[in-house]
Structure 1
């Protein structure tokens, strides 16, 4: 109890000191914290890309201690947890991104997509469809999301050979840098476990081929929405089965 009281007293005193600081010193302290968060994030991205996930997670946690409201840092930490197979912690970090008042549509899409991938891997069909549909609502033209939903429906929840094959084709791009107008723009961060796409050379496609592909994608989206709507009705119907 003595330790707890001492800790609370320290926090209280620090809070008073902060309130009594001149505005100029507060701004200076905030700028220093922002720089520390930026530098730790850059170092974490470097560790992540070199495969040192433990160090990356530690550095992102440190970065968040300097700037706990930054959605990009919560996203990066969530991605690190996801790649490290620490699902609950990844979901918690992604949840912080969605709660942020400063979250961008791109970040929101990436989070919903990632959560869909995690649910699909856990054979949670309803959860995966829910998150993939949310991702499509943000980016209706997302091919990776549509393909994952098609695989989910075909495989009855994933976990088959198709999902295993996807694991070798991962794109893991944490956000490098904070704030608008940075010289080094962050790479596009769409989730790991992106589905493999058929390889083709665009110059070989004829106009009829393009029209056929667009028609198939439109039909696929209609099937996706119909499947999702049917599952929602089944869950909401009295006495209906909870798939």
Structure 2
């Protein structure tokens, strides 16, 4: 056991440097995509769009956060579907992000057992405001949904649940990221079903990138503090 601990101590600095490098790449990728957003479509735009979540998945994997890795790979799949053809592949993209939010919700429930913040201040406001906003937005959106009504409403229920569950985590980045996710998807729905404007696409991307980065780095902070359980098997490995 002592030899294993010494080996881990020896590789930890190098592992941390690699993780930091991956994290910086994950921050740089969405900035690069944002700068080139107005030029779409161009060769490789889907690859660049997807690279943020792929890099974050690599970061999460190295943090031994398996559920988080899976959630990010689902997001990457959603980015691919919507990037290739946002109209024809909208439902597969929606399903991919639905899985992402279900996995995030599971992670938040597990993590809140040891990292539980009181519902005070802005968290209490968000607890009321998010469901009220979602219900109001859904009532405006519903007549425009047609055959997509059922999957879109289901998606809205899941993302609101995910956002509400995030409010109990002590790391502020996680609930703020979840709120950015609600904002991003609301803007996407606004642009797809109601009306569009030149600023909507950049706003969708900015809020989406902030959502993913804040959630992942917030959970990573909890994981380092030993308060997050983003890999249910980690406890079994530690006790073995």
| Larger helix share, 1 or 2 | 2
Structure with max Cα Rg: 1
Q: Please give the TM-score of this superposition, normalised by the length of structure 1.
A: 0.39
Relative contact order (alpha carbons < 8 A, sep ≥ 6): 1 or 2 greater?
A: 2
Give the structure-2-normalised TM-score.
0.39
